[in-house]
Structure 1
Amino acid sequence: MIALPPELLPQLGEGLWHLFTVFLRVSAMVSLLPAFGERSIPTRVRFGIAVAFTMIVTPAVPALFAQPNLLAMVRLVLTEVLIGMALGLSLRLFVLALQTTGSIAAQATSLSQILGPAAADPVPAMGHLLTLAGLTVAVLLGLHVRVAQFLIHSYTFFPIGTAPLAQGLSQWGVQQIARSFGLAFALAMPFVIASLIYNLALGVINRAMPQLMVAFVGAPAITFAGLFLLFAGAPLILSVWSDALITFILNPLEPPR
């Protein structure tokens, strides 16, 4: 059995304590992280991802000089978990934006029930396709590197053990939710415009020819238009979405435009 020198034991304890404090924030964030925190990924894999991010982030984070007592430790745990969940939820809102885009587009083009529930979340197949494609694009663009940078920069905004102000955190969260819904509606705008034109044309035709069953004639047209818009607009939708995601990761405190 190898005995460690007595002078190394305090340093080892401080290093493990510092590793634990970083792991608290990282694990909470990874549980909500896009691509790496999906419910389809096993828990052990997500735990391994959290450990890997912890090993990457820990050397770049300033360590605590003294171990806190029991009350301070409980406060530290709650603070770090809260910050990690807030950061992870801010990134998860971009995935929800894609799902909302697919839901709006599917409802507008009468494709909400096509293929049934194809994902774990109850979203239309169009939303599932956009979400899967968006996560794939994000990973190909180096999402793991961006997340590591995001975590390191988060300690500049929220130092270890410093609880964010409730008013500032709530205001920031409302801004991110508003950004998410605004982005979702902007991405689904072509489908909404196509649905508006379709319904206006259908109303004019029905007014001119009341005997014609215009719904049966127009249903194939709106279905084809929805699928064509999805085929032609998906690259642009994913490009705008990925740019917004990367811009947020680089500057999470920037107010939405």
Structure 2
Amino acid sequence: MISVTSAQLSAWLGAFIWPFSRIIALVSSAPILGNPSVPVRLKVGLSVVLTLVLAPVLGSMPAVEPGSAIGLLILAQQIVIGVAIGTTMRIIFTAVEMAGNIAGMQMGLGFATFFDPQNAAQSPVVAQLLGLLATLFFLALNGHLYMIELLAQSFNALPVSPQPFSAAGWRALAGWGGEIFLAGLLLSMPIMAALLITNLALGIMTRAAPQLNVFSVGFPITLAAGFVVLAIALPYFAPLLDRMLHDALQMAMQVLRLANPATPG
């Protein structure tokens, strides 16, 4: 007859529920999988499968009752860790969408918007286009596999523990948020420069020929110039996104290591 004590049951439950909470938090906040259009059953099922694969190799868990106050604190910590990793990866797509917003406004397409299900808001068509391209590049570069590898390594960098986090990791995550503006400006810089030259040329034409209707002529010119520059710049989009992906992976690991209170410095 097999007998199971309450201590063994609590240990098994903790060995599953704590890694599961970190994994499902990452899946819910990560790019692509975190999209609200992805069914909840798929997110939960994928999280359960990943937990069953990773849990046996994670080593011993804290000897804490999962339903106790400390156990609930550990549960909340794992959710925060998963969301932090997912947010670090999602910043890439936010930067790309910001570049699309800037480019669309400069091209005169700020009024042409579609509903973005990922952000549950209206976004310009250029931002939607660049967001879809970023998603395809992310999958083509095996970004989803890198994210699963990062998830497995996160349990070594920041193990499941009741100890509080170090503030250095969250400062690094806040600094990484500045990459949204830097990368967004870098991605949109070719279109902004080309349209600035176009607008200067239109201004000179208006001064030389005042009878020229700049509103009827300037809009199609700026629109065409924006699309031409966008088509020329697209081949350079993949290497930049590849660099941003690896930078995001390194930053996520750095955030975890800095957040570990056992890390020196």
Please state which band the TM-score falls in when normalised by the shorter chain: 0.7 to 0.9
1:240 alignment partner in structure 2: 240
Describe the shift of the 1:232–1:172 C-alpha distance in structure 2 as closer, same or farther (beyond 3 A): same
- C-alpha distance in structure 2 between counterparts of 1:158 and 1:89, whole Å: 17
Determine if the alignment matches structure 1 residue 72 to structure 2 residue 73. Answer: no
Task: Decide whether the 8 Å contact of 1:158 with 1:164 is kept in 2.
Answer: no
- C-alpha distance in structure 1 between counterparts of 2:197 and 2:168, whole Å: 43
Determine if the alignment matches structure 1 residue 111 to structure 2 residue 113. Answer: no
- C-alpha distance in structure 2 between counterparts of 1:197 and 1:253, whole Å: 42
- C-alpha distance in structure 1 between counterparts of 2:62 and 2:177, whole Å: 37
Task: Decide whether the 8 Å contact of 2:191 with 2:229 is kept in 1.
Answer: yes
Deviations 1:119-149 (A, max 9, x none): 3232111111111121122122222321121
Deviations 1:81-118 (A, max 9, x none): 1111111111111111111111011011112233x315
CA shift, 1:32, in A, is 0.8
Describe the shift of the 1:59–1:130 C-alpha distance in structure 2 as closer, same or farther (beyond 3 A): farther
Determine if the alignment matches structure 1 residue 95 to structure 2 residue 93. Answer: yes
Determine if the alignment matches structure 1 residue 207 to structure 2 residue 207. Answer: yes
Describe the shift of the 1:31–1:191 C-alpha distance in structure 2 as closer, same or farther (beyond 3 A): same
What are the equivalent positions in structure 2 for 1:188-207 lying under 5 Å apart? Answer: 188-207=188-207
1:45 alignment partner in structure 2: 42
Structure 2 length-normalised TM: 0.85
Aligned positions, number: 250
Task: Decide whether the 8 Å contact of 1:61 with 1:155 is kept in 2.
Answer: yes
Task: Decide whether the 8 Å contact of 2:116 with 2:122 is kept in 1.
Answer: yes
Describe the shift of the 1:91–1:45 C-alpha distance in structure 2 as closer, same or farther (beyond 3 A): same
Describe the shift of the 1:57–1:250 C-alpha distance in structure 2 as closer, same or farther (beyond 3 A): farther
1:85 alignment partner in structure 2: 83
Describe the shift of the 1:112–1:53 C-alpha distance in structure 2 as closer, same or farther (beyond 3 A): farther
CA shift, 1:181, in A, is 1.6
Determine if the alignment matches structure 1 residue 14 to structure 2 residue 31. Answer: no
Tell me the percent identity.
Answer: 25
Q: Name the Cα RMSD after superposition.
A: 2.3
Describe the shift of the 1:7–1:51 C-alpha distance in structure 2 as closer, same or farther (beyond 3 A): closer
Task: Decide whether the 8 Å contact of 1:30 with 1:36 is kept in 2.
Answer: yes
- C-alpha distance in structure 2 between counterparts of 1:8 and 1:140, whole Å: 48
Task: Decide whether the 8 Å contact of 1:90 with 1:176 is kept in 2.
Answer: yes
Describe the shift of the 1:229–1:163 C-alpha distance in structure 2 as closer, same or farther (beyond 3 A): farther
Describe the shift of the 1:200–1:254 C-alpha distance in structure 2 as closer, same or farther (beyond 3 A): farther
1:134 alignment partner in structure 2: 134
- C-alpha distance in structure 1 between counterparts of 2:210 and 2:248, whole Å: 52
Task: Decide whether the 8 Å contact of 2:21 with 2:75 is kept in 1.
Answer: yes
2:165 alignment partner in structure 1: 164
Opposite residue 60 of structure 2, the aligned amino acid is A
1:218 alignment partner in structure 2: 218
Determine if the alignment matches structure 1 residue 146 to structure 2 residue 146. Answer: yes
SS at match of 1:182: helix
- C-alpha distance in structure 2 between counterparts of 1:169 and 1:126, whole Å: 34
Opposite residue 224 of structure 1, the aligned amino acid is A
- C-alpha distance in structure 2 between counterparts of 1:197 and 1:61, whole Å: 57
- C-alpha distance in structure 2 between counterparts of 1:14 and 1:253, whole Å: 28
Describe the shift of the 1:55–1:180 C-alpha distance in structure 2 as closer, same or farther (beyond 3 A): farther
